Structure 1
């Protein structure tokens, strides 16, 4: 048997880490820690015996995998992705075997993509250097943001082990359209009867194509064009039109029109001629779990536009954020009653042309010259001080999201949806701002929002997705913790420590200090909730992403929302690391 290569070993490490973190199939809680001269091992309750070498971690789990293998009782080392999963199969209940097989297929798809990445990354980064300039610190504006997105697309998700796998898509389908390959492509367009199309409150851009522009007969007053991703334009589109009864009246334009480039979210593309305009287009695939489909359910875009209005209302009441928090305009959207017949027109704020617009997901990505994006930004704006850049970002990030919590709001503003905007103010001083997008999945404590906004709150709570509004602070605090704290702050701290850049104790102390300072600015009752549930809690909620997204059915997991299904892990802001499993 061929020994696993470094790519497979790295993936297996992440897969085992995720299974332990989520306590999948009770692997973690039924394990026993054994201390050996070479380090600690977990003896897993697997028929025939299996020991896993581990070491202390603390980022959402007490331990992480030290070496990607299982040792059997007879001393055999089981290595390789498939052999290790096969060794764990006996712990899976019969009714959960389909999910286990789905996850094994997901792992195989991830491994294939990672091997493609290994061969493609150098060519992509060379193209980025030629197109945008050799120094990543010089990539500016919405156009430069696409180059940062491409670098971020090569990186792993902070916790999900198979984040590059796109269910059902092959390598020939990924290379022209996935963000890590950074290729331009032409959009397809579908002509629909206007009465069949639901429109959001925002106006369409003046360039929106007419039937004549698309080479189709028709009346612009009776028909409306809907952009379609090329990957959706074949069989998935045919199926959607048949299911909605539009097959006889819809017309797919014979020729593509407008060139686009993928953003970090593959289903969202930026116009090559106007990169400040993005089109979010549904794809018949799934990422971060087989149930996490990249379609656009009817009503989702209306909820996103309403969330934007809510955030604008809060900004109007909090003047200190007027110059530091930017919102993408997501009020323009179209839908024809099917998850594959929809489009969002996103407009980035103006005035970004001279700024670096960098998603948090790209901060620790490698630049074409091999450095970190964060180092390039620190060199340009903070006299080369990476700690100063991190501190500035954490200060604003935690202040803003804590303020939102004071209104009963928590956003799914994870590392992909949150960007740092860095430039100079009129006085020539460094200016750091946040840019937020894709706000259609918040959690909102309606009671707290009503108490803060009074009569103005009622129309801002009319979300179609009933899971968005809740009656207490708990679910809102969970989203604050799992998104803002874990993905946008904690993940950076732990990785910077592993890279030898900033000691973990220093970074975590700074996160705690900045959070404590932010709590002093919000209503005391709201501050008390976050203090109890975050700063002083013994354990913190942790997303069980593979469990809810792939391993278990909704009936088995009990997850009402697969993106908000939790286990718990150690509070790295409070407790020292421990190898012992939770009691």
Structure 2
């Protein structure tokens, strides 16, 4: 469990740069506390000192680590209040029997020192995981320092492309600017989300969404006989199709290509291959490194041809591996990358089965929407039914097509609402000025009302989506003061389905285990759905936005959390109160439970192997935290 390759060590310049590490270390310590790493929650004792509360980790007669904490108010009782650990030797009692606090201690203020100190309290078999997380921390710090150094340049680039006011950014092309702002804010729960395993600083600048780059897209000609496609391959089986005005494959009698602009091998400078091969896009970082090994593994080293000529310009979306095409704003290409994000075990390749599952999930969601008239036209879905793969997770593509009619709309991921705009104000404030009379709470309320109603309705059908802040976009249009608020969903392959509820709702035609590649998707009870609903919809979409949009000079957190509870309670009430029904299940597990499941992403993603964590899915591994939605809170 070691980093995939060499990385740039994060420099530690003095002054403002130290604040970058301080903020990162504060988030890391809060996360390790929330996930109870090394027993920071359950093996510590509280000590109240003049400056506040500290948690002491360490037994009698041994050096202890002390973490300064304050009340969290969200998913944990406590959060770190200072970016440091204090190492103190075993205390010596005074003559009167009292033990002085803080004698002979030292403060650990770098991630390297903090993680090394904590590793001494970990099980020996977890040493490699701590080493890997230290490398991940360093990669994240490199990225964050680059973001800090390039903020003015990046904001100027966005302003030049789209204008100075995010409220005026329109259409799918402008949505990429919101992706850049959201990427710079980072993941609300994963503190080292800025890290990409084994990427250099130069690669970050060229390919990471935080820097709004554009780059030429590479293509690989693959034998038609080696491909599995969701739709007929570009061209027709009987021969080369007629050419369109731009020299790209026209629609053929055997069906539609993956997109109307899809290149034939000859468009890439590869002659004589149009009948026998299909062009697949490949991320430049994949062509530069692991592609040749992937071709050998797939048995394609002799027959596939990498084109020297690029075709189309690409721009990374918030997910990094999915790229948008400025020349075709309604189309995204999800491309596998041999890197990790949000944990060393969270590889950014594309397993062929996820393509099947995403398309099946989309069809299921469309069927539900058709049965629920109040969501028609308000809940939108990207088309993810077109894909191709060779059976290898590095040679595949998903073609995501966005709904039509969004050119005059503001389209942004929910993750961008609390992000800083080019002028330093929050994106939510800019949008509130345009749409809700300057009231960001009204804007949040409108988004939450639709989101929680839709997700609770899906739960009633026995469906829970892994639709976090990145995968749900807010779509705004209409008139100022009375906007039309819609939601756009994508990446639905990580859902969970209670087959009994779904069958009761849809009848004999309801999808079952045979319709999905991943056997974890279809389950027999509500447990996995409740955990997913709580950790994704409630925590990541609703609760984290409430936290991020509250604070001094803004709405107080209790008010916004109360808003989340109120809108969720309304949505649950629509499901009814029948014993054993979905409304009763959600009410008991979310609105009235003393504790809620909380994602343990660092633990499952990097610190522990799957054998050690027991996680069958590292994105669905949980600890627990206090229920911040209880009325008394």
TM-score, normalized by length of structure 2?
0.89
Name which of 77, 83, 100 aligns with 2:130.
100
Q: Secondary structure of 1:358's partner?
A: strand
1:467 to 520, 541, 559: 520
Please tell me whether residue 49 in structure 1 is matched to residue 40 in structure 2. Answer: no
Shift of 1:72: 2.8
Shift of 1:50: 1.6
Matched residue SS, 1:432? strand
Partner-residue secondary structure (3-state), 2:265: coil
**SS of the counterpart of 2:504?**
helix
Q: How far has the Cα of 1:497 moved from its partner?
A: 2.2
Corresponding residue of 1:512: 565
Checking the alignment, whether the CA contact within 8 Å between 2:435 and 2:481 is kept in structure 1 is no
- Once the 2 structures are TM-superposed, how far is the Cα of residue 104 of structure 1 from its aligned partner? 0.6
Q: Which residue, out of 266, 285, 296, partners 1:242?
A: 296
SS in 1 for 2:315: strand
The structure 2 residue matched to 1:109, chosen from 136, 139, 155, is 139
Separation in structure 1 between the aligned mates of residue 340 and residue 623 of structure 2, nearest angstrom: 23
Residue 226 of structure 1: CA displacement? 0.6
- Kept in 2, the 8 Å contact 1:27–1:45? The answer is no
- After superposing on structure 2, the runs of 4+ consecutive aligned residues of structure 1 that deviate more than 3 Å are 1-4, 458-461
Q: Answer with 1 or 2: which has the greater Rg.
A: 2
Give the Cα–Cα distance (whole angstroms) in 2 for the partners of residues 125 and 13 of structure 1: 26
The aligned counterpart of 1:58 is: 73
CA contact (8 A) 2:77 2:625 kept: yes
Match of 1:546 among 602, 605, 619: 602
Does 2:232 correspond to 1:193?
no
Q: Is the 8 A contact 2:513 2:519 kept in 1?
A: no
Instruction: Report how many residues are paired.
Output: 576
Matches of 1:460 and 1:85, distance apart in 2: 43
Distance in structure 2 (CA, Å) of the matches to 1:319 and 1:180: 38
Distance 1:314 1:523 in 2: 18
Deviations 1:332-380 (A, max 9, x none): 1010010101001101101101110010110011111111110111111
- Give the equivalent residue in structure 1 for 2:50: 37
Q: Structure 1's 421 and 145: CA in aligned 2 closer, same or farther, altered over 3 A?
A: same
Distance 1:82 1:574 in 2: 38
Name 1:580's counterpart in structure 2. none
1:398 alignment counterpart? 452
Pair 1:429–1:28, CA change in 2 (3 A): closer
Write the distance in 1 (CA, Å) between the matches of 2:172 and 2:190.
Answer: 28
Q: How has the CA–CA distance of structure 1 residues 2 and 71 changed in structure 2, closer, same or farther, with 3 Å as cutoff?
A: farther
Contact 2:499 2:512 in 1 (8 A): no
Cα distance in 2 for residues equivalent to 1:348 and 1:535 = 34
Matches of 1:448 and 1:280 in 2, distance apart? 32
- Does structure 1 residue 271 correspond to structure 2 residue 325? yes
Q: How does 1:299-338 map to 2 (within 5 A)?
A: 299-338=353-392
Scaled by the length of structure 1, the TM-score of the pair is 0.96
1:350 has 2:400 as partner? no
Q: Which residue is equivalent to 1:387?
A: 441
Query: Using a 3 Å threshold, how does the CA distance of structure 1 residues 57 and 575 change in structure 2: closer, same or farther?
Result: farther
Residue 455 (structure 1) aligns with: 508
Could you tell me how far 1:254 is from its partner in structure 2? 1.4
Alignment of 1:285-296 (within 5 A): 285-296=339-350
In 1, Cα distance between equivalents of 2:456 and 2:268: 47
- Deviating more after overlay: 72-81 vs 546-555: 72-81
Shift, 1:2, TM fit: 8.5
The answer (yes or no) to whether the contact 1:446–1:461 under 8 Å persists in 2 is no
**1:570 to 2:622 alignment:** no
Q: Residue 5 in 1 paired to residue 59 in 2? A: no
Q: Counterparts of 1:19 and 1:575 in 2: how far apart (Å)?
A: 28
Partners of 1:219 and 1:65 lie apart in 2 by 60
Residue 84 of structure 2 corresponds to residue 69 of structure 1:
yes
Measured against aligned partners, the alpha-carbon deviations of 1:137-178 in whole angstroms (never above 9, x if no partner) come to: 110000110111111110121010100100011111111111
Mapped partners of 1:63, 1:250: distance in 2: 55
Given that residues 418 and 426 in structure 2 are in contact (C-alpha distance below 8 angstroms), is that contact kept between their aligned partners in structure 1? yes
Could you give the per-residue CA deviations for residues 76-129 of structure 1, whole angstroms, max 9, x where no partner exists?
222211111122121011111001100011001111111111001111001111
Mapped pair 1:28 → 2:41: yes
- Separation of aligned partners in 2, 1:568 and 1:500: 31
In the TM superposition, 1:359-374 aligns within 5 A as: 359-374=413-428
Instruction: Indicate conservation of the 8 Å contact 2:38/2:118, yes or no.
Output: no
For residues 43-85 of structure 1, give each alpha carbon's deviation from its aligned partner in whole angstroms, at most 9, with x where no partner exists.
Answer: 1127401211100012211101111112233232222111111
The match for 2:463 among 389, 409, 412 is 409
SS of residue matched to 2:267? coil
Gaps of 5+ in 2: 1-11, 89-103, 233-255
Where relative contact order (Cα < 8 A, 6+ residues apart) is larger, the structure is 1
Deviation string, structure 1 residues 472-498 (Cα, Å, up to 9, x no partner): 001001000000000111001112223
2 CA distance for matches of 1:213 and 1:491?
46
